[in-house]
Amino acid sequence: MIKKLLIVAMFISSIAVSQERPHDGKEAHVAVLHEVSNKEVVQSVYPDAGKVEKVNDYWFRILGPDNKTVGFAMSSLPFCKDVKGYNDLTPVMIITDKNWIIKKVALLSNKESLGYVRRLEKRGFFDQWVGKTVKDAKKVEVDGYTGATFTGKAVSKNVDFLLNNGAKKLPKRN
């Protein structure tokens, strides 16, 4: 019985301190910028993508080598300047195919702790929206914050913003 109580107490305390708020200046805390290339994110889904064109406020058209549309992308970078994770902004990119089915959700350049981001990746956090249409993805009940609460919630807010606003302005498929 005591072993069970100790295990439960250790589990609860590890959750409580797993990702606390940034330091208030009493201790040195240096956030490191992790640069992520938009081009690399796009080409991780569409390796032959040759060009990206802005379609409207939210959407970009991804063109293949033959200049035909292969998919679309949205970035929260210009919009979600007040959505911060553990250290700073957590901009995301959502990439879809021509039928608005999500192929990838990726964290763009950020200052989040790499260990927390990897923890989210290992738990399939970014894959929760993959395979769903933009409209259906709005219904996803996000799971997987444990151990990276601030980062996960901020990423979710960015994704929600894009899904809610981007769904209203879907570009023509061409």
**Domain contains 149:** yes
**Total count of domains within the chain:** 1
Whether residue 8 has pLDDT greater than 90:
no
Whether residue 13 has pLDDT greater than 60:
no
pLDDT tens digits along 62-102 = 999 999 999 999 999 999 999 999 999 999 999 999 999 99
**Domain contains 124:** yes
The domain in which residue 118 lies consists of: 33-169
| Rounded distance between C-alpha atoms, residue 161 and residue 75, angstroms | 10
**Domain contains 4:** no
pLDDT at 29: 55
Query: pLDDT-derived band of residue 146, with 50, 70 and 90 as boundaries?
Result: low
**Domain contains 54:** yes
**Domain contains 105:** yes
**Range with the lowest mean pLDDT among 69-83, 140-154, 157-171?**
140-154
